[in-house]
Amino acid sequence: MSRNSVSAVIPTKNVADIITPTLESLRFCDEVIIVDMFSTDETRSVCEKFSNVRFFQREDYIYGNFNYGVEQATSEWIIRIDSDEVISPELRDSIIEVLQSENSRHNSYEAFCHLYFFGKHRLRHGFGNQWRTMLFRKETARYEVRSEHEGLVLQGSVGRLKGHYDHFTNPTITAWIEKTNYYTSRDVERLAEPQPLSKVKVIYQTVRMFQRFYLRPYWLCRDGYMGFVVAGIVAFSLFVQHSKTWEKYEQQKTRT
C-alpha cells in the first residue's frame, strides 16, 4: 500500500556506542537526517552503514540543529527522535498507519515513552510517565531554540500513536552529570543580562524542586532508590544553573 514519505531527524555528538539500535528501528523511514556536532568518535562511520542515512555536520544548539535537519528533509512527515531512543514495532506500525492515511485529522502525533535510567531500570513516575511529540507534518512544528529543555511549537491538532518508544537515557550518573554541565552552560550563555536570585530563593527553589519530583506531584519515591537519585540530580541541576547564572553575573560585573 502506498504511503506518505517520512524522514527521521537526529541531532548527534559522539554517539557511536549507542545509536545503532535507534537506526535499526528507523529502517522503515525514507531517510534519516543526522545533524552531527563534529563528533570525535566513530559516529559518522556507524551512521553511514545504513543506506537511508544522510549525514550533515553543523555546530549549533541541539534544537537549532534539529530545525536545520527538518529543513534538509525531503519528506512530507518528520519523526523527532534522539540517538538514545528506539521505536517499538507497535509504534512503527502506528506511524505507518498514519502515513498511509490520505487525510490524517492531525498535524502532529504524540508517542508514549518508556524511560530507562542507568542502562536497565525503567522509571515509572515523574519523567517516566509522559507523552512527547514524535511525528509531525513538515512546516507545522519548530523549536524556538530558547533553552535546552523546551517543547516543539506546534500548529494544528495533536493525535496519539499506539505503542511506545524506549528512551535509554543516562547510562551512568557520571554521564548524567556531564550532560547537566553541558545543558546548564548552554542555557546560561543565552542570558544577555543574568540576574542571580537571592540565596534564600535559590535554596527554596532547589528544595522545592526535589520535593515536587520525589513527592507530589511526580511521586518518584515510588521508584525506590532510583527515584531518590533522579529527584536529587534534578534538584542539583537547578542549583547548578542558578550558580552559573551568579558566576556570569559576577564576571560581567568585573569586566565593567
Q: What pLDDT digit, counting tens, does each position of 194-248 carry? A: 999 999 999 999 999 999 999 999 999 999 999 999 999 999 999 999 999 999 9
Domain ranges of the chain: 6-169, 173-255
Task: Categorize the per-residue pLDDT at 129 as very low, low, confident or very high, splitting at 50, 70 and 90.
Answer: confident
Single pTM value for the model:
0.95
- What topology is assigned to 6-169 in CATH? Spore Coat Polysaccharide Biosynthesis Protein SpsA; Chain A (3.90.550)
SS3 75: coil
Q: Are strands 141-142 and 153-154 parallel, antiparallel or unpaired?
A: antiparallel
pLDDT of 130: 93
Whole-angstrom distance, CA of residue 159 vs CA of residue 68? 25
What's the confidence (pLDDT) of residue 254? 86
Cell matching residue 220: 518518584
- Stated length of the chain: 256
What residues have CB less than 8 Å from 17, skipping those under 6 apart? 41
Q: Is the distance from CB of 179 to CB of 240 less than 8 angstroms?
A: no
The grid coordinates listed for 192 are 544577555
Residue 236: per-residue pLDDT:
97
Per the listing, cell 549525514 goes with 55
pLDDT at site 120: 78
Alpha-carbon separation of residue 146 from 9, 37, 61, 186, 187 (angstroms) = 19, 18, 9, 10, 8
pLDDT band at 18 (very low <50, low <70, confident <90, very high): very high
Q: Which three cell numbers stand for residue 130?
A: 509522559
pLDDT band at residue 1, thresholds of 50, 70 and 90?
A: confident
